[in-house]
Amino acid sequence: MTDQPSPREPLEHGPLALLVAGPTASGKSALALGLAARLGGVVINTDSMQVYAGLAVLTAQPSAAEQAEAPHRLYGERDPAEAASVAWWRERALAEMAAAHAAGRLPILCGGTGMYFRALAEGLVEIPSIPEAAREEARGLLAAEGPAALHARLSLADPETAARLRPTDSQRLARAFEVWRGTGRGLSTWLAEGGTGPARLPDGTPWRLAALRLDPPREALRQAIGLRWEAMLRAGAVEEVRALLARGLDPALPAMRAHGVPELAAMLAGRWDRAEAGRRACLAIGQYTKRQATWFRHQTLAAPSETHTIHARVTHLEQFSERELGEIFAFVCSRVDVAHRGA
Name the binding residues for ATP: 22-29
Q: Are 186 and 180 in contact (CB under 8 A)?
A: yes
Q: Tell me if 126 sits within 8 A of 138, measured CB to CB.
A: no
**How far is 259 from 255, CA to CA, in rounded Å?**
9
Annotated binding-site residues read 22-29
Distance CA 199, CA 74 (A): 17
Pairing type for strands 208-214 and 106-111 reads unpaired
Q: In angstroms, rounded to a whole number, what is the distance separating the alpha carbons of residues 318 and 282?
A: 28
Phi, psi of 109 (to 5 degrees): -90, 115
Question: How many residues belong to the chain?
Answer: 343
Output the CA angle 232-233-234, nearest 5 degrees.
Answer: 90
Residues of each annotated binding site for substrate: 24-29
Question: HSE-up of 218 (CA within 13 Å, CB side)?
Answer: 9
